[in-house]
Amino acid sequence: MKFWLGASFVPTDQFAELARAAERCGFDTLTLSDHLFYAEFGSKYPYSTSGKPRWNAETHWPDVWVTIGAMSAVTSTLRFAPNVYIAPARDLITVAKQVSTAAVLSNDRVSFGVGVGWCEEEFAATGQDFHTRGRRLDAMLPVLRELWAGQAVTLDGLPALTISPTPRERVPVLVGGDSEAALKRAARAGDGWIGNRIYTEEQLDGVLTALRGHLDEHGRTGPFEIIAPLAVMPDADTYRHFAAKGVTGTLAAPWWLATPEEKAEHGEGTLALKIATMERFAEEVIAKM
């Protein structure tokens, strides 16, 4: 079982030190989320019962790839991934260059967590078609792989083109989302699947059953990452139970479960609180796995 640090909603000036601490504590990957701006969205947020986002205008959403580049400069083994990057809200060449550059700067410590998104306003702001986002992502993924491998591609009548720099190793693609379309996309085109909600065991069992069915349809028998945020109390035996179900990794944000004593000592929302709870998680869970 790999432990990914879920670092959404973290103030931008905390990321470098948070990455150093995550590496020291034994986390495999640090992940952060992707949004472009805040507004009074008309789009329904799919991960809350109210349909409203869980953040406000003051919540930080730093650029994913700039932040990963900064964190990679102060670490040596920690991996990084967006959960998830809304690739079809951008043009293909921009996505290819951002990911490739981050992969090179980090010495191949980047995974490409990708999804289609839910916020129509963000697509409107970048001039991309919201309603074709799934089809366009399906078309983007094989071309991105070719560009990252240093191959030439032809786009929209342009002469054959390549990008540079390109990573030495294959960039793993983890498809996010638990809709039927997303699970089919993960099984067809991904190196793995990443969940972007917190799952009870019953909810996850349904996802795993559907995902395995799609993997079988496509004859996928090799390694396949399953990164699932779990609605369980941190416990090594519990995580072993989910590993037996095929879950290869989970997301944790240990400061969400800070004790009153830890909050009193370090202060609510502080970097010190985050690091203290990460160190406790590493001692009580990661070390026992």
pLDDT digits (tens, 9 = 90+) for 169-185: 999 999 999 999 999 99
pLDDT of residue 73: 98
Label each residue of 107-142 as H, E or C. Answer: CCCECEEEECCCCHHHHHHHCCCCCCHHHHHHHHHH
Regions of the chain with pLDDT less than 70: none
Q: 253: which 2 tokens?
A: 């944000």
Domain 2-288 has CATH 1.10.260.40: no
Distances, alpha carbon 114 to alpha carbons 12, 130, 176, 214, 230, in Å? 21, 15, 6, 18, 19
pLDDT of residue 133: 98
| 132-152 pLDDT, tens digit each | 999 999 999 999 999 999 999
- Pairing verdict, β 112-115 and 192-194: unpaired
Check residue 230 and report its DSSP letter. B
Distances, alpha carbon 284 to alpha carbons 171, 229, 279, in Å? 32, 18, 9
pLDDT of residue 86: 98
| 209-228 pLDDT, tens digit each | 999 999 999 999 999 999 99
Main-chain dihedrals φ then ψ at residue 279, nearest 5 degrees: -65, -40
Please say whether the beta carbons of 87 and 180 come within 8 A. no
pLDDT of residue 208: 97
